[in-house]
Structure 1
Amino acid sequence: MFIKEACVENFTDVPKLIHHGANRIELCDNLAAGGTTVSEGVLKATLIYCQAVDVPVMAIIRPRGGDFFYSETEKSIMRHDIQLALDAGVDGLVIGALTNELELDIPFLKEVQQLTAKYGTDLTFHMAFDELQSETQISALTELPALGFSRVLTHGGPKNQDILDSVPRLQVLMDAAPAGFTILPGGGLTKDNLPQLQQALPQLSEAHGTKIV
């Protein structure tokens, strides 16, 4: 089954999006800043509804907009929010962290892996991936599965680039990804241009967007 992951910032639109064909929800607040962690109340309401209709919920863990270099205080906030989401019964988390040298923050990502392992939580590395250098992205595709991640969300190029112009890079990433690890395109992807992306990338299995349905 092809997965259409709808990105939403509150509960209000969730039933409508599922009705129109979304079969996974990414829940985040403050989309204008690229998405931040939602309130516990929004998370719980969304989980109650989505569990009843058998639609998985992925919750973003991000304490603020801006860069992806987090202070120890911010990491403490993220650990707390991770545990709240796990206790609420979330299906998966969307999270990412980098070092000042634009590399994966391996120690923190290992903490995330340890926190979520016993829950069997699905992990997506978010668009912090697009801040990595091209060669670092390729090596990250090996490192992330070892850290418990099952996919990476990526635009495949600069934010202002049409996602259809990202097809060559997305193909490179798909070819480099190990078996079972998913490249999840997003950023400017809609129900209108999704068919073109699917035609250009026949192995595409998932897509992400605020207007994906």
Structure 2
Amino acid sequence: MLIKEFCAENLSKLPQLSAPAISRVELCDNLAVGGTTPSYGVIKEASAYLHEKGISLATMIRPRGGDFVYNDLELRAMEEDILRAVELESDALVLGLLTEDNQVDLDGLEQLLPSTQGLPLVFHMAFDLIPKEDQLQAMDDLIDLGFVRILTHGGASDTDIADNIDHIKALVKHAGDRIQIMIGGGVTADNCQELADLTGTNIVHGSKIV
């Protein structure tokens, strides 16, 4: 069965969603910059509304647009945002931290882990900035940290996801049953099933999958 995660920038499209067609919503703000942390009020209302409809909520934790290299102040802000997202009954947290040389920021993630209180963790498309030759090791590191899912386009954001099929298949194979690979970026209601079949994953993500 294909699992669809709808990417919602705000509350406006949530009434259009229904389970089981949509299993999960990733809630963020500012999609123009790739998504940032939504406000307290938006998370609160989305959580209550989606849970009534039987749809789970994954909340984006990202303090700003731009790169994914965060300083100590930003990490502390992310800790506070995580605590609020947990308090508001998010079902998962979506985040991604990199070092200046585009490797997984293990130290930063370990600093944030206590505040997540055991919620499932998703590494977002910052993963695609990691050099491809380092991505399998990065995946292993994320598994060790307890991440349950990785969102990937399989290549640079300006590429067509259809051109990244082989790489995504390699990621899916390496992941096995240890972590889920979710595809996004150019995934629509029209092509999601075909892309899932070609890549070997059963989880798709996007703002145009309904």
TM-score after normalising by structure 1: 0.94
> C-alpha offsets along residues 113-141 of structure 1, whole Å, 9 cap, x if unaligned?
22224xx3111001110110112111011
Q: Unpaired runs of 5+ in structure 2?
A: none
Which residue matches 1:176? 174
Aligned amino acid, residue 9 of structure 1:
E
Matches within 5 A, 1:63-78: 63-78=63-78
Q: For residue 96 of structure 1, report the CA deviation from its aligned partner.
A: 0.7
> C-alpha offsets along residues 125-180 of structure 1, whole Å, 9 cap, x if unaligned?
01110110112111011110111100110100111111111111100111111423
Q: Does 1:163 align with 2:135?
A: no
Aligned length: 210
Q: Given the alignment, which residue of 194, 204, 210 partners 1:207?
A: 204
8 Å CA contact retained: 2:148, 2:180: yes
Which residue matches 1:115? 115
4+ long deviations beyond 4 Å: none
Q: Unpaired runs of 5+ in structure 1?
A: none
Aligned amino acid, residue 210 of structure 1:
S
Once residues 163 and 51 of structure 1 are traced to their aligned partners in structure 2, the CA distance between those partners, rounded to angstroms, is: 31
User: Secondary structure at the residue paired with 1:57?
Assistant: strand
Instruction: Give the root-mean-square deviation of aligned CA atoms.
Output: 1.4
User: Secondary structure at the residue paired with 2:74?
Assistant: helix
Once residues 204 and 173 of structure 1 are traced to their aligned partners in structure 2, the CA distance between those partners, rounded to angstroms, is: 10
Aligned amino acid, residue 212 of structure 1:
I
Aligned-pair identity in percent equals 42
Aligned amino acid, residue 63 of structure 1:
P
Once residues 97 and 172 of structure 1 are traced to their aligned partners in structure 2, the CA distance between those partners, rounded to angstroms, is: 23
> C-alpha offsets along residues 45-97 of structure 1, whole Å, 9 cap, x if unaligned?
00001111221100000011110001111111111100110111110000010
Matches within 5 A, 1:50-199: 50-117=50-117, 120-199=118-197
User: Secondary structure at the residue paired with 1:25?
Assistant: strand
8 Å CA contact retained: 1:33, 1:65: yes
**Further displaced range: 129-138 or 19-28:** 19-28
Q: For residue 111 of structure 1, report the CA deviation from its aligned partner.
A: 2.3
